[in-house]
Structure 1
Amino acid sequence: MNMIVGLGNPGHEYEKSKHNTGFRVVDELAAQWHVTVWQSKMNAAVASVPIDGRKILLVKPQTYMNNSGDAVGALMRWYKLAETDVYVIYDDMDLPVGKLRIRTTGSDGGHNGIKSLFANGVRDFIRFRVGIGRPLPHHDVIDHVLTPFPIELQEPYQRGIKAAAAAVEGCLELGISKGMNRFNSTKK
């Protein structure tokens, strides 16, 4: 069993924010896999889908970004999952808009959702970081992550969402090592 977690904030006001990148990738996977039934479980929206003979859980924590680890840690313990069976998708300001980076280890990078996972004993999960770029000089980081992309960046961002969904599927099929080799964005 694998658990695919998208980090984000619940509520209509955050729906299109950059910080909801993880939710959007999970929604893209749910659409591709024809998932229509979600349940509320341990402070998360959870859907179960069989893919290639194994159970996959799609998870969107409903605890707000800064407390994501509360839901993820509880679900991991409930399902008795190894940390390496958990894929976490989230936004990253250190990557250009739409760029994807998959890693098996790393720091929290200042990301409060990842800090919350660490605080809840979840450290060795697979990271799918999707670039949202840095705020303009003299602009607030919180405003940057909680607002939508301007029109001129929506296309590269959407490509990044689709690339991340394809990478998750590829890593499930090929394994993480081969998936990282195939799906990590290359430098131009």
Structure 2
Amino acid sequence: MKCIAGLGNPGKKYDKTRHNVGFMVIDELLRRHDWKEKKDKFSGKSVVETVNGEKIILLKPQTYMNLSGESVRPLTDFYHIGVEDVMVIYDDLDLPAGKIRLRQKGGHGGHNGIRSIIDHLGTKEFKRLRIGIGRPENAMPVVDYVLRPFSKDEKMDVDKSISLAADACEAWMQKPFPEVMNEFNC
């Protein structure tokens, strides 16, 4: 069984913001497979489906970004999912808009959602799919930047990265993560 958690903030106010690209990838996977998410007891929206004989859980924590671990940990405990079978999708300021990067493990890099998951899982050993959102120009505070929608100029690149990230998730549903990294980390 694998868990793919896309991070974001719940509510219409945050719906199309940079911080919600993790949710956008989960939404793309739901759309592609015609799967329906539901609210559950893990402080999130999730769906459990079977792909090639393996159960896949897609999760969108509804705890707000900084508390994402409060959703991921209870779900992984309930389903007995080891950290080696968890992938988290989130926004990354250090990648340009439109780029994605997969990693086997790592630190939080200042991302509070990842920090929360590390704290709750007690390890940094889970897989990550980072989606580039770029850095703010001028002196815009990061917090304002990540909570803004993408500009029209960025939108096309971001839509491509969301589609590519969904492709990478689908690949991981069928093959080992190192192969997926080799294919998608260009």
Fold conserved between structures, TM > 0.5 = yes
Counterparts of residues 92-103 of structure 1 (less than 5 Å): 92-103=92-103
Asked whether the equivalents of residues 73 and 122 of structure 1 are also in contact (C-alpha less than 8 Å), the reply is no
Shift of 1:38: 1.6
* 1:32-87 per-position Cα deviation (integer Å, ceiling 9, x unaligned): 11112423221011111111111111100000000000110111111111101011
Shift of 1:124: 1.2
Asked whether the equivalents of residues 171 and 180 of structure 1 are also in contact (C-alpha less than 8 Å), the reply is no
Counterparts of residues 29-178 of structure 1 (less than 5 Å): 29-120=29-120, 121-178=122-179
Shift of 1:143: 0.8
Aligned length: 185
Asked whether the equivalents of residues 5 and 60 of structure 1 are also in contact (C-alpha less than 8 Å), the reply is yes
TM-score normalised to the size of structure 1?
0.96
Deviation beyond 2 Å, 4+ runs, structure 1:
none
Asked whether the equivalents of residues 92 and 132 of structure 1 are also in contact (C-alpha less than 8 Å), the reply is yes
Structure 1 unaligned regions, length at least 5:
none
Percent identical residues: 44
TM-score normalised to the size of structure 2?
0.97
Letter in 2 for 1:108: H
Asked whether the equivalents of residues 51 and 173 of structure 2 are also in contact (C-alpha less than 8 Å), the reply is no
* 1:128-179 per-position Cα deviation (integer Å, ceiling 9, x unaligned): 0000000012111011100001111100000000000001111221210111
- Structure 2 residue matching 1:136: 3-state secondary structure: coil
